[in-house]
Every structure is written in structure tokens, then in C-alpha cells.
Amino acid sequence: MKTKVDFPSINEREPDGRREDGTSYRVLVVDDSMFVTKQIGQILTSEGFEVVGTAADGEAGVEKYKELYPNVDLVTMDITMPRMDGVTALEKIIEFDKQARVVMISALGKQDLVKQSLLLGAKNYIVKPLDRMKVLERIVSSLH
Amino acid sequence: MRVEYINPFVEAAYNVLTEVLNTEVKRGNLFLKAATKSVMGVAAIVGLAGEVEGRVLFDMSKQTAIKIASVMNMEELTELDELAKATISELANMITAQAVTKLHELGFKFDLTPPALITGENMEVSDQEVEALIVPMETPHGSIEINVAVRERS
């Protein structure tokens, strides 16, 4: 019988969502689509992240961030949302916490808004359709 | 209606469906409907307004909508619930965004409305003064018709 020693398994890789001390990175997901919220949640939790909150529009997203602060490490922010769009919500979150890490989630064709978001302090962006690897790569790089 | 308006939608539908369903998608033959056309059961509608105006309809049966939503959520959905509806709306969003990016590159300027989802039986769509071009996309989960009725603003 083979033992673990014979087979250094790739499964032993630390999940992306955990820090070295084993605690999870905490994420707030702001998106008006229940489908996208669920999709991001599934991708993140499968890698050890913890989704600590969700909000369905920009205004609720800002409120939620303030409520969770400082126990939140990253925000995923949809751009097109009712009540308050993602760019405005990003601006308000950065105003409140200069260190906030926000990753924008965008449909194709919103380059101008993505550019504006990056100038305002967003760490990165992801264009839909969301693909697992793309999501993890962009989010992990925003955390380091 | 000029055929060049529909091609970006067909191309985008092909790209997005292939990616999110992770399967082969076949493009059916384009056909034209001048008057009223019945809607299959679930229709996501996106409005266009600007130099080009009109609407795009993503039309499918309820069964197809549920199956596609199940694949996209990686779980078996049995009814057209809120999650399934949000999923089909998001699908329409992604396809439209990709098509519109292409149309903007071609120089057509216009804005979009967020997708509205219409469900029910025995529905019809009528377009005044503009005929609809329809391209069926065949997926293993059923057919989705891309139904585009747009014109240049006079």
C-alpha cells in the first residue's frame, strides 16, 4: 500500500481562501443577481473563503461593509445595480476605508466604468461569464 | 431590418452558450417574421435605445429554461423559481453585453435596458413597423431563439 509519503498529493495544497494560520479570508459579495451571488459564493467557499455577507445593490453593499468592518477582507462589486451602482458604492467604501480591497464584476463592454473603478481604487476586475480559475486568480492577487 | 444587426447577437449567443453550458451549440437557419410570433414560454427581453432602437428577445420553452438554469447552477432545478429566473436573466445579460460591445465597435451607438423576464403560455410578440429576424440556437437542452427587431432611428 502506498502511503502519503510516496505520493506528495496536490490535494494537500493550501486552499486559496485560507491564510497561513488557517483562518479564512472574509468576503462581502455585492450583486443584484441571485445567480451571480450564488456562483461567486460557490467558487469562493470551495476554496476556503468565507462569504460573510451579501447585498443586492450598491447602497446596501456600503451599509453592509460598514457593519462588517473591520471583519471583512475583500468585496466583490457588480457594476450595474439598481439604487446605487457599483462604481459609486466603491467610491463610498474607499472613502470610509482607504485600505478596502474591492474587485469589480463587470459585463463585457463596460471598459470605461472598469477603468474609472481602477482609478478610484478597485484592486482588480473580473468580466462575466465568471470562470472559476479567473475568479480565484483575480481575487487571490488582490489579497496579496 | 439589416442582417448586420443580428449577427453580433448570434455570435455572442454562440460564444456565451458554448462557454456556460460547456457543450456544443448549433446555429439554425435565420428566418424573418413580419407580423406576430408566438413566444415559447420563457422570454428574456432587452430593449435598445439610441441611434438604433428596438428589442432583442431570448425565447425558449420553460423546460429548456429550467434545464439551462440547472446546468449553469450545477444543481438540479425542478421549477422556474427565483434562482432559475435570475440565471436566465443573467444569461441574456451576458449575451447582450457581448453583442453590444461588437455593435459599438462597428459604430452603432445606443443604450440597453436591464433584461425583463416574461413567462407564461399562449403569449405572442408583435412589433410595429419593424420585422423580426430570428435565429434558433440548438443546444442539447433545447432550442433558444434569438429574436431581434431593431431599426435605425429615423
DSSP A4-50: TTTS--GGGSPPTTB-TTSPBPEEEEE-S-HHHHHHHHHHHHHTT-E
Separation CA A69–CA A19 (nearest Å):
18
Q: Mind telling me how many Å the CA of A4 is from chain B's nearest CA?
A: 32
Instruction: State residue A59's pLDDT score.
Output: 98
**Residue B66: its chain A contacts at CB < 8 A?**
none
- pTM, entire model: 0.86
Tens-place pLDDT, residues B94-133: 999 999 888 888 888 888 888 899 999 888 888 777 888 9
pLDDT at residue A12 above 80?
no
Instruction: State residue A26's pLDDT score.
Output: 98
Give the pLDDT mean for A127-139.
93
Question: What is the Cα B8 distance to its own chain's centre?
Answer: 12
CB contact under 8 A, B86 and A33: yes
Question: Which sequence spans correspond to the domains of chain B?
Answer: 3-152
CB contact under 8 A, B97 and A109: yes
Give the pLDDT mean for A116-133.
95
Question: Taking the domain B3-152, which CATH number applies?
Answer: 3.40.1550.10
Mean pLDDT of chain A: 92
Tens-place pLDDT, residues A81-101: 999 999 999 999 999 999 999
Q: Which three cell numbers stand for residue B151?
A: 431599426
**Residues B80, B65 contacting (CB under 8 angstroms):** yes
Q: Which three cell numbers stand for residue A52?
A: 460573510
Tens-place pLDDT, residues B53-74: 899 999 999 999 999 999 999 9
CB contact under 8 A, B19 and A42: no
A112: contact with B, CB 8 A cutoff = no
CB contact under 8 A, B101 and A33: no
Range from A60-64, A78-82, B132-136 that averages highest in pLDDT = A60-64
Q: Give strand pairing partners of B116.
A: B45
Q: Give strand pairing partners of A127.
A: A106
pLDDT at residue A7 above 90?
no
Q: Which residue has the cell 437542452?
A: B141
pLDDT at residue B1 above 70?
no
Between A and B, how many residue pairs show a Cβ–Cβ distance under 8 A? Answer: 45
Separation CA A12–CA A34 (nearest Å):
32
How many CA within 13 A on the CB side of residue B113?
14
Domains in chain A: ranges and CATH: 23-139 (3.40.50.2300)
Q: How many helices (H) and strands (E) does chain B have?
A: 3, 10
Q: Give strand pairing partners of B53.
A: B151
CB contact under 8 A, B20 and A33: no
